[in-house]
Structure 1
């Protein structure tokens, strides 16, 4: 039996290791030293970490000294979303406001009491309701607020007006965090231009290894009182534990590669994404493209075809050699209706059928052609049945 050629179109779940990153990880894995040791071997490990720290900081327009390594984006979000995150010399926030379409690491990963958390609604495109946010901030008065909104959504690719959100929140004395996990390495990200107080990153979304992430602060004028992982004094006392030096080195190598030709790669991916979208609409003219009216990541296409269930479609595409997703892959492989789509007001019958195509550095035009051919096989019979029943 002939093997089906595999086509990987699930980069938002995890992006395959970029060329050369595995070699960096393997080389650093073989270094014997602990990065906290002062001998030659320890300093060699420390040097790898600091080189990576500088590379990742460049990717997001930050200073290396303001970057804290974690085990991933989830831990980084859990670390910063606490009432004890504050500017030096100022009280911490007493209330947390989070976007309705946030990743579960934000919705479920914060450390605020439930009664001190508010959900910011979004419109039908998935964009934060700025009028609601402004009114809520004005109502809060002197009450300090921490606002967390994704830079780009993992399921739909919708990009939020973070700079505008940050300006509004800062006018009312609040703090702003953005989950930049999906955006970094795909569109330009600059912590200064965004105006946020903190952003979080994950290595494996941009072609680095799994198990490495970072919290990036806007300056050294912040502190977090209740550390998530306590022990030694690693990462300037923000995150204890012997560092994952090999994973961090791979993170740095992937960040460097992602930064090279970033804008050209974004244009290439957008062209391929638009081609994939055109194929979907050709075989299914009544398909819904989620977030079509908003600015989206150049690599992300979320769509639903009336009458096609996501679980059935995922199996059919997989048998055809195409790896897609029904949304976020961070929920133990479950296929269930998305809170993101519910917040956007997508009708339940359609929401249950949304599929996500996410492209990346390894995606070629041939990948999109194979996706188009699979669309014909998976979707074509559905429309033939509809036509015969009409």
Structure 2
């Protein structure tokens, strides 16, 4: 049985070219990048800094603004925790739609450091109320504030109106952190134009290795930041620990490759998404798509989220898996629970509707084809019968 993988928002397949780069680095790069007294260490340092330069060029940043981490979760933690400790943040504004690595960290900070937290109002499509955001900023104008909002939602695919957020943050002198984990490596991004203070990325979201990512920190803020993990002076003294050189080399190569055919890949995924929407409408009358995921221009092309009519069938995803189709309910970080995701519960207030349906997140990748969608649709038809 040929298997169909449609869970690319959780993790993408690693490119063969990336594997090759990582294997060469594992085999031939022996030194510690901090051991610059000998050639082995200097060679590792060279790979580290060349990768940093390559990544910075792709996103139009300075190399010193790139800090390597173990992935997106650590990157989000670094931003939030270091902001409180280093920038004296007293107030955080976010939304109920954020990733658990943001929401749970903010909850921890609010308890540990008495940080005040406000959640921006959202409607049934997951659209943020910017009038409410401005009211919150105005009310807390004398508090040092951090706004933390993801650029592209990892469950419903909604694209944030980042220009509006940046305008309000600058107007009220607030810092802006964006979880860009579903964006970087899948869309071109220009840090100079976007004026983020912080942004986060994870390699396994763009066909690179797991366990490696980075955080972008604006250079005027970088010098204020204190160490997030102590015990060394690596990563400009902000994140101690010997750098994962094979992972960093793989991340850099994956990002480089993603920029070669960006327009073609985006066009392909938009086509797949449009086709999937059309086919699903044929088999599910009055289908409900969650958030803005069915709006091609208001969501990322890689994510489509809809409600499947079934009465609390928590085995739905396993039934699909047995038929060779891999999809998910939502964030893989919450997959251990049978409860519907916090994102779906935040935008769907109709409890009867929630009880009569199960959310399915389909996330496309560059290696998917239309026949994969056909396989999914046939599997859903069999389950319904």
TM > 0.5 fold call: yes
| Deviation (angstroms), 1:7 | 0.5
Give the CA deviation at 1:378: 2.3
Q: Does 1:106 align with 2:109?
A: no
Tell me, what secondary structure is at the counterpart of 1:278?
A: helix
What is the rounded CA distance, in whole Å, between the counterparts of 2:368 and 2:353 in structure 1? Answer: 27
1:41 — aligned with what?
40
Q: Deviations over 1:146-185 (max 9, x none)?
A: 0000000111111111221011011101100000001112
Contact in 1 for aligned 2:82/2:227 (Cα 8 Å): no
- Residues 212, 310 of structure 1: alpha-carbon distance in 2 compared, 3 angstrom cutoff: farther
After TM superposition, the runs of 4+ consecutive aligned structure 1 residues lying more than 6 A away are none
Deviations 1:303-331 (A, max 9, x none): 11233546232122111100000111112
Task: String of CA shifts for 1:96-122, please: whole Å, max 9, x gaps.
Answer: 111210000000124632451222222
8 Å CA contact retained: 2:7, 2:328 = yes
**1:270 & 1:84 partners in 2: Cα distance?**
37
Q: How many residues align?
A: 374
* Matching of residues 119-138 of structure 1 within 5 Å: 119-138=119-138
What is the aligned partner in structure 1 of residue 52 from structure 2? 53
Partner SS for 2:46: helix
Tell me how far apart the structure 2 counterparts of residues 61 and 125 of structure 1 sit (CA, whole Å).
Answer: 32
2:248 is the counterpart of 1:230: no
Q: Does 1:316 align with 2:316?
A: no
Q: Aligned residue for 2:378? A: 373
* Separation of aligned partners in 1, 2:223 and 2:175: 12
Q: What does residue 10 of structure 1 align with? A: 7
Q: Which residue of 2 aligns with 1:144?
A: 144
Q: Which residue of 1 aligns with 2:278?
A: 278
8 Å contact kept, 1:200–1:215: yes
**Secondary structure at 2:47 match in 1:** helix
What's the TM-score once normalised by structure 1's chain length?
A: 0.91
Is the CA contact (8 Å cut-off) linking 1:86 and 1:92 kept in structure 2? yes
Contact 1:310–1:353 (CA under 8 A) maintained in structure 2: yes
Aligned counterpart in structure 1 of residue 30 of structure 2, from 32, 37, 43: 32
The separation in 2 between residues aligned to 1:223 and 1:146, in whole angstroms, is 17
Alpha-carbon contact 2:34-2:41 (below 8 Å) kept? yes
Equivalent residue runs for 1:41-190 within 5 Å: 41-82=40-81, 84=83, 92-110=88-106, 112-114=109-111, 115=114, 116-190=116-190
Q: 2:50 & 2:102 partners in 1: Cα distance?
A: 29
TM-aligned CA deviation for residue 83 of structure 1: 6.4
1:354 matched to 2:353? The reply is no
